[in-house]
Amino acid sequence: MAELRIGTSAFTAAGWEGSFYPAGMKPRDFLTFYATRFNTVEIDSTFYRCPSRGSVEGWANKTPDGFLIAAKIPQTITHEKALVDCDDDCANFFDTMALLGNKLGPILLQFPYFGKEAFKTGDEFLARLKPFLAKLPNGYRFALEIRNKYWLDERFADTLREHNVALALQDQSWMPLPHQMKFDFITADFTYVRLLGDRKEIEKQTKIWDKVIVDRSKELRSWVDVCQQSIKRAVSTFVYANNHYAGHSPATVAQFLKLWNE
């Protein structure tokens, strides 16, 4: 049965203590508290390095049955090595994350924009991507995000579909929204939505994420519609809100759920 899973990108941020977490709460208790409010989280720290086995076991021990943890694959693989000579890095990461057992949610491959100095064309990137996707291990769910809108077309979506990899849908000013895509953006047996916002603009106003400072009601309504349509298609849907989207991602999740239930 298709289900909605919604949470935030990371479970800690400047300004959350006192606005989301009770004042004085120890950081070691944050994830346990978080899991009483949401049913999933996207771990951001794994993007910077493969976590220790102890950290992953800690995430598992601090969350209840039924909770799901999505994680970004390390940037060593997606950015620095750009999928070349990274088999050992991948195997180490997958094996480490497997310690979560049935609490492991999707693994996100987040790629940078990649200018022409990296890949002259989208075809060149696809030629690199296809054999990598073919080697992905069974037993995991994968989502993939690209940030070059000129590469995002039906052929790219079909490549993901061939390997049951979800196209990560993203709310960023320079990337197309679902209704602007001229192809079916559902490419796997689940879909993955990232409410990212405009980091540069919002950081001109604040770097403390304790309250909403940008009204994104209209945009959220459209995302609710997208996600309701995917659920109707029997496609489980994961949604993660970033603080940069409106200023305080727990409030964004709460607003999304309110609109969902209207």
- Write out pLDDT tens, residues 41-53: 999 999 999 999 9
pLDDT tens, position by position, 22-67: 999 999 999 999 999 999 999 999 999 999 999 999 999 999 999 9
CA–CA dist 22, 37 (Å, integer): 13
pLDDT tens, position by position, 75-113: 999 999 999 999 999 999 999 999 999 999 999 999 999
Q: Which helix (H) or strand (E) holds 105?
A: strand 104-110
Q: What is the DSSP string of 204-259?
A: TT-S--SS--S--HHHHHHHHHHHHHHHHTT-EEEEEE-HHHHS-HHHHHHHHHHH
| DSSP-assigned beta bridge partners for residue 38 | none
Q: What's the pLDDT at 249?
A: 98
The verdict on pTM exceeding 0.95 is yes
CA–CA dist 200, 180 (Å, integer): 24
* Rg over CA atoms, the chain: 18
Domains of the chain, with CATH numbers? 4-260 (3.20.20.410)
What 86-90 contacts at long range (C-beta under 8 Å, 24+ apart), as own/partner pairs, is 87/135, 89/50
pLDDT tens, position by position, 143-201: 999 999 999 999 999 999 999 999 999 999 899 999 999 999 999 999 999 999 999 99
Task: Identify the residue whose tokens are 């949401």.
Answer: 38
Task: Identify the residue whose tokens are 């009770």.
Answer: 22
Question: HSE (CB half, 13 Å, CA atoms) of 189?
Answer: 6
